[in-house]
Amino acid sequence: MRAALIGDVHANLPALEAVLEHARHRGAEAVWNIGDWVGYGAFPEEVVRLLRREATVSIVGNYDRKVLEFPDRATEWRRTKRPEKYLAFRWAWENLSIESRRYLGSMPHEHRLNAAGYSVLLVHGSPAAIDESLYEDTTEERLRELAELARADIVVFGHTHQPFVRLVGSCRFINTGSVGRQDDGDPRASYALLELQPGAVDVRHFRVDYNIERAVTAVRRHELPDAFAEMLRRGRKLTWVLERRAAG
């Protein structure tokens, strides 16, 4: 059984299309999506529709949840969020159809499944919290705590946008990396391919070229902050871009 592990698409349709094509050419039989479908990118509606058509096994991410909460928290966030982040939430909300908002809101925070005799848990941040950040250097003690909580052979997650695999005891933690919004300076899309056979687990991470200029042009066409375009080109998070602009 071979599954494409994707997440943190962040409304980047060109990156998502490239990753799905890459995975199909490598024999992916399923797509498992760990959330953060929308935010920052210019294609929230198109991304939701494409992932629905692909019949992916999906969950909601913390960013998706914030976008869905936007109408109730707009006044608060206007005061407390960076203007660029506030606009990202607002624009994603306004550019999702009612149907897509409902669909995204129907997604669970975790999903359990069995494949080739292995128990798999999909979460966004960690088995403990949707917004917990796990990294390659997260302590083994913490991962053992999470493995006990997960009660699974494999935990698939994202949130930190950093692809890696850690084996702790009998539990394998797989960060998918980010399809649509990189943090490590490499602007290419990231995802993982998981192959499961009785007694054997193989995980490979890929970086995939995609049409970045198409994504950048769409950001500018919709008059979203130019910092969002620079994020795509540089493969960096918003705070990195804004801090360097402020430093001159």
Three-state SS for 130?
coil
Using a pLDDT cut of 70, give the percent of the chain over it. 100
Lowest mean pLDDT among 120-129, 164-173, 239-248: 239-248
- What is the structure's pLDDT at 55? 80
Which 8-state DSSP code applies to residue 54? T
Residue 114 banded pLDDT, cuts 50, 70, 90: very high
- What is the structure's pLDDT at 246? 87
Reported as type and span, the H/E element at residue 155 is strand 154-157
Q: Give 150-159 pLDDT, tens digit per residue.
A: 999 999 999 9
Structural domain spans, the chain: 2-246
pLDDT of 248 > 90? The answer is no
Q: Give 26-63 pLDDT, tens digit per residue.
A: 999 999 999 999 999 999 999 999 999 998 899 999 99
pTM recorded for the entire structure: 0.97
Stated length of the chain: 248
The CATH code that applies to domain 2-246 is 3.60.21.10
